[in-house]
A and B are shown apart, each in its own frame.
Chain A
């Protein structure tokens, strides 16, 4: 696609339910990132994929959070047993990585998650 696409754009869920957030990166981008942005706050790093593997999962806040990426493309972020503090905008970004040199990351429009 032309840019990073995330779905859904908005999600309201009841406390305790599981949610899945989807990210479609730019075609050919090997690196994929998930960040969380609470209202008026910064970009909290969650997880990073290089291809299908996740060399850095250090940002996942708890074991209720997991992410996977298949086929080196689409990624899903799953939050189990959602809590109200999970409410935030979840941003996905992708970049064309050249060996070990960082490159520009392009962001999706985000998924606004509200846990009620």
Chain B
């Protein structure tokens, strides 16, 4: 079936460094790519998303890039802070309905001060 691969599974950075998380997807019909952040004991929440007609999107310290040809997209966090520590999930919309969201397995980001 359709799937989303996410790397790395864990990422440790120093405060102020950049962090990059990469995902690939298999369904060429995917048109929506959200990123979710899940803090310990909490529900996943959307932090940024991108649609298939856009190559890049930025929101303050967070940016997402999409390469439709290669079927991969990435999350970039600049000037990381300890409060960025969490599990990050990428997702892609799949299926004939084009809207079912399949998630990657997550990246545990640890930012040390």
Contacts and interface: CB of A to CB of B under 8 A. Distances in A.
Nearest to A55: B97
B1 to A, nearest CB: 5
B45 to A, nearest CB: 7
Interface of B: 1, 6, 31-32, 34, 43-46, 49, 51, 89, 93, 95-106
Contacts of B34: 102, 104-105
A102 B32 contact: yes
A28 B31 CA distance: 22
Interface residues of A, number: 27
Contacts of A103: 32, 99
B89 A42 contact: yes
A17 B101 CA distance: 30
Nearest to B42: A109
Contact of B98 (A33, A100, A105): A100
A105 B101 contact: yes
A33 B31 contact: no
Given A104-B46, A107-B43, A107-B44, A56 B103 contact: no
Contact of B99 (A31, A42, A43, A107): A31
16 contacts: A41-B106, A42-B89, A42-B103, A43-B89, A45-B103, A56-B95, A91-B44, A97-B97, A100-B31, A100-B97, A100-B98, A101-B31, A101-B32, A101-B98, A101-B99, A102-B93
Interface of A: 31, 33, 35, 41-43, 45, 48, 50, 55-56, 58, 91, 93, 95, 97, 100-110
Contacts of B105: 41-42
A107 B110 CA distance: 23
A89 to B, nearest CB: 9
A55 B32 contact: no
Contacts of A42: 6, 89, 103-106
A104 B35 CA distance: 10
With most chain B CB atoms within 10 A of its CB, the pick from A33, A45, A48 is A45
B89 A55 contact: no
A55 B6 CA distance: 25
A102 B34 CA distance: 9
